[in-house]
Amino acid sequence: MFRNREILLFFATLIFIAIGTSGYAALLSTEALLIALVSSVLLITVTFLFTQWRYRELEKLSTYLREISNGNYTLDVRDNFEGELSILKSDIYKVTRMLSEQGNHLRKDKLELTKGISDISHQLKTPLTSLQVMVDLLSGSNLPDAKRVEFTENIRRQLLRIDWLVSSLLKLSKIDAGAVSFKKDELRVKDLINKAVESVLIPIDIKEQRLNIQGDEKVTFQGDLNWTAEALINLLKNAVEHTDEQGIICISWDENALYTEIIVIDNGEGIAKQDLAYIFQRFYKGKNASDESIGIGLAMAHSIVTSQGGDLVVTSERGKGTEFRIKFYK
């Protein structure tokens, strides 16, 4: 305690004042001198004990902080008294709880990162293995031309799949990191639908499916045209993939005082009840997912919509089709 220069100066001042007061009291009377001496000794003693107690409390706080720095967030230093030390203890406890919560979030993020890397590795492993096998086969000199063309086409498809996966993961990572600045433009829903439908017209034509589009051309919403079209494209691709040939896909939209709603309905195979709660999780593949499915399209659609303050919900029944509803609130 007395290694602190401020404490030494403080007590030196107290002693100087006590000596001065006692000297002045001695000029008055013996009784005054006695009172001054007793009062000075008591004052200095009480001050010394109080300062010693504060130092002990501060030492406890120092020990507490060292425990925190070692990762022990279970200690509770709070008390039920008033005073500056109690306020300091309460503030330190609040910071401790905040650090504990941040530590839990960091551990959770680390687990999610590890899981994500594992999922990505798994998704890339299959096409890379296939590419390696086909490249080895193509190197053979006795391979027929027809097989060579077939393997080359397969390699092209696998490379496109890898390119789409990497591109989608980069988009998801940017959204999760908050690095995407979504625009808040006033957009016509009709323009959004036209932009999204362009990407699925060929597969719809190949499967001879019927596409019904209906809605008021004046209906608008606030959002980002390109990113929202990306979300809608993934919903439409899912509808096309899981609807049989000559099936029906319907896109409709409407608005009310609270929100603008876009609805995508198909009469395809539907989604199993046990899968409905998980289809917006990345890399999740339902029981009726195709072998080529990666399980990232619906996750990206959900992230894009919710990042703009909207909602994306799904209802489905096996054998009767699926319905996706997007709501953008006003």
pLDDT band at 99 (very low <50, low <70, confident <90, very high): confident
- Decide if pLDDT at 227 tops 70: yes
Judge: domain 185-329, CATH 3.40.50.620: no
Domain boundaries, the chain: 5-100, 118-176, 185-329
β-strands 311-317, 321-329 pairing: antiparallel
pLDDT for res 252: 96
117's CB contacts (< 8 A; 6+ apart) are: none
Instruction: Quick: pLDDT tens for 196-209.
Output: 999 899 989 999 99
- Decide if pLDDT at 179 tops 90: no
> If 0-12 CB within 10 Å is exposed, 13-18 middle and 19+ buried, where does residue 223 land?
buried
Q: Which of 55, 25, 54 is CA-nearest to residue 40?
A: 25
Instruction: Quick: pLDDT tens for 108-150.
Output: 777 766 766 766 676 677 778 878 888 888 887 777 888 888 8
pLDDT, average across residues 16-36: 82
Backbone CA torsion sign across 118, 119, 120, 126: positive
pLDDT for res 14: 82
pLDDT for res 235: 94
- Decide if pLDDT at 81 tops 80: no
> If 0-12 CB within 10 Å is exposed, 13-18 middle and 19+ buried, where does residue 147 land?
middle
pLDDT for res 170: 81
Q: Is this model's pTM higher than 0.75 or not? A: no
pLDDT band at 289 (very low <50, low <70, confident <90, very high): low
pLDDT for res 254: 95
What are the structure tokens assigned to 45, written together? 């003693």
Q: Which of 62-71, 80-89, 136-145, 169-178 has the lowest mean pLDDT?
A: 80-89
Q: What is the largest CA-CA distance in the chain?
A: 127
pLDDT for res 122: 67
Judge: domain 118-176, CATH 1.10.10: no
pLDDT for res 17: 85
Compute the mean pLDDT over every residue in the chain, rounded to the nearest whole number: 83
- Decide if pLDDT at 106 tops 70: yes
Instruction: Quick: pLDDT tens for 277-288.
Output: 888 887 777 666
What is the CB neighbour count within 10 angstroms for residue 244? 13
